[in-house]
Amino acid sequence: MEDCLFCKIAAKQMPAKIVHEDADTLAFEDINPQAPTHVLVIPKKHIPTLNDVAPEDAASMGHLFATAALLARRGGFAERGWRVVVNVNRDAHQLVFHVHLHLLAGRAFHWPPG
Ligand code: 5GP
Ligand code: ZN
């Protein structure tokens, strides 16, 4: 996926502040943070949106959430609270078409979201 920004980050062809990596998953700091902690957690496999998740991606998707929880414990904000956001397509302002969890923490969040 040569035109995909997050594939390039996963392939180390673009720099990023990586906070976690394993065989299937990469987590790195968002370049425009919306909270004191704002990390993007991605599958290394190119999947454009949640609409495109196939049954065989289920374990990988579960691993994204497990990675977010690992980072929450490691960051010391698991008990206080944190948020995961996944934007899908235009109405949700998805800008990068490679599935990513936004892991947000370090402040209180509004509910319902805007
Ligand atoms: P989306 O709107 O697609 O859900 O979120 C895309 C996110 O990627 C945004 O929060 C944006 O700040 C972040 N982003 C865009 N370009 C880059 C980049 O080159 N590096 C990093 N680390 N984050 C990026
Ligand atoms: Zn990609």
Domain ranges of the chain: 5-105
Residues with pLDDT less than 50, the chain: none
User: Which residues have a Cβ under 8 Å from the Cβ of 1 and sit 6 or more positions away?
Assistant: 7, 46, 98
Q: Which amino acid is at 45?
A: K
Q: What is the ipTM of this complex?
A: 0.99
| Topology adopted by domain 5-105 | HIT family, subunit A (3.30.428)
* Residue to mutate (ligand 1; options 19, 30, 50, 88; most atoms within 8 A of CB): 30
Total residue length of the chain? 114
Looking at the CA of 42, name the nearest ligand. 2
Cα of 72 vs centre of ligand 2, distance in Å, is: 24
Q: So what's the pLDDT on residue 114?
A: 84
Ligand number with the minimum distance to the CA of 19: 1
pLDDT at 1: 61
Is-contact 48 25, C-beta < 8 A? Answer: no
Q: Which residues are catalytic?
A: 100
Q: Give dist(CA 41, CA 29) in Å, integer.
A: 9
Atom of ligand 1 lying closest to residue 93 CA: 2
Angle ∠(80,81,86) on CA atoms, nearest 5: 165
